[in-house]
Structure 1
Amino acid sequence: MPDQSADRIGFRALCLRGLAYLLLIAALLQGVLYEANQLGVMRFSESGFTEIAQTLLLLGATALVLMTRRLDHQWPHVTLLLLGLLGASLIREQDAWLDAYVFDGAWELLVTLLVVPILLIVLRGRLSFAAELERYAATFSGGLFAAGFLATYVFSRLYGRSDLWQAILGEHYLRIVKDAAEEVTELFGCTLLLLAMLELWLMVKRRQRRAAN
């Protein structure tokens, strides 16, 4: 059983980390403002700042969960499922490029090839997975991941519905407003996913340091 005291974060570290996360979010939103003001027809498109930032955030989150799997073997099923979710999301973000330069539907095939084997492995070890998930859900990383998952895959999709924005804006409806609302919300969700994986990696590092002392 891992040392649960390693899950606690000191007050100083918590304050510094909170400031760093605040600055990251502020920087991302400054990038969104630049995109809105400067990029013209590229605003909130596949080539815009927001979409590129989402890709980089998901790439970082995927790299962090891979690093965590190499460092620690306490969460084999949870980290494998996280890897599948984040990897599939990263592939999905490249759908336009894959459809244009590989073949139409390439991203769907790649996601299937990634996710199906992972789900089979997790289902085969479902009892161990349930125990791991119970422990993970009680951590700061688990809370951040839940918030990021809901923001990215649920809230942004519902908030970005065309009929919602047509009802809000009426005859002044512009698709760019709807796209901006959806993509910026998804950007925040991807940020939370990155921070969740960073917190998981940091927690594993803390546990290893305490075990070595």
Structure 2
Amino acid sequence: MSSPPPASWPIGFGATCLRATLYILLVGALAQGVYLEALHFPADHFSERGLTELAQTALLAIASALLLYVLLALRELRLVALLMFGLLVASLIREQDVHLDTHVFDGAWQLLVSLTLLPILAVVIRRRRRFVAEFAAYANSFSFGLFAAGFLTTYVFSRLYGRQDMWRAILQEHYLRDFKSAAEEVVELFGYALLLIAVIELLLLARRWALARKAG
């Protein structure tokens, strides 16, 4: 398989404005959903049955499906997409930990994550030269910047920001677990939104590269 083209076709101003508008609407809809959950569903505040958790699952499922399309239908960035697919599917499984532990067996999500990630890592390591070539081209893209931001937001900042000790220190005698849960889950939701947008941009980038290759 030939290496990805060094540069993609330029994105038109109109297309950029359209995509920016759609992404703004997505983020706004998620924020409104959090508000509606707090307003109308007090019994399920940021729980496994809450709107925020369901939205997280939906974002991860959509992003995983789009990456699967890249893997099956496009020739470009397959190993990069494969590694991202493994990470997001593992996160999707992790989001169902309570259901899996309750209805399957305790520790089921850890087993499923291992069965998902280990074969993918084996493929990437075995084809590491191809992966490095793809990553070198992908690292200069808008999609990679978004993915890095989403990764840091979801897997680093949300965990640190949602620490119980920190919220106890901030709220002191007024501490309620809902504050801690809301802080962590809403930041995590935004991180997943960034990851989805990054995947959309990856798909569009791969399509532009495919068109550029055909035209060349």
**3-state DSSP of counterpart to 1:74:** coil
Q: CA separation in 1, counterparts of 2:82 and 2:154?
A: 20
Give the TM-score normalised by the residue count of structure 1: 0.95
CA contact (8 A) 1:7 1:139 kept: no
**3-state DSSP of counterpart to 2:8:** helix
Shift of 1:212: 4.1
Specify which of 203, 206, 210 is matched with residue 205 of structure 2. 203
Q: CA separation in 2, counterparts of 1:136 and 1:7?
A: 14
Residue 159 of structure 1 corresponds to 161
Cα 1:98–1:7, aligned 2, differ >3 Å: closer, same or farther? farther
CA contact (8 A) 1:81 1:118 kept: yes
Residue 146 of structure 2 corresponds to 144
Specify which of 21, 34, 37 is matched with residue 35 of structure 1. 37
Q: CA separation in 1, counterparts of 2:154 and 2:193?
A: 9
Give the TM-score normalised by the residue count of structure 2: 0.94
**3-state DSSP of counterpart to 1:41:** helix
CA contact (8 A) 2:153 2:187 kept: yes
Cα 1:173–1:65, aligned 2, differ >3 Å: closer, same or farther? same
Letter paired with 2:181: D
Q: CA separation in 1, counterparts of 2:138 and 2:118?
A: 22
For structure 1, the 5+ residue unaligned runs are none
Q: CA separation in 1, counterparts of 2:210 and 2:136?
A: 21
CA contact (8 A) 2:44 2:50 kept: yes
CA contact (8 A) 2:96 2:109 kept: yes
Number of residue pairs matched? Answer: 213
Q: CA separation in 1, counterparts of 2:14 and 2:80?
A: 29
Shift of 1:39: 0.5
Shift of 1:76: 2.8
Shift of 1:87: 0.7
Residue 97 of structure 1 corresponds to 99
Specify which of 122, 134, 143 is matched with residue 120 of structure 1. 122
Indicate the larger mover: 154-163 or 5-14: 5-14
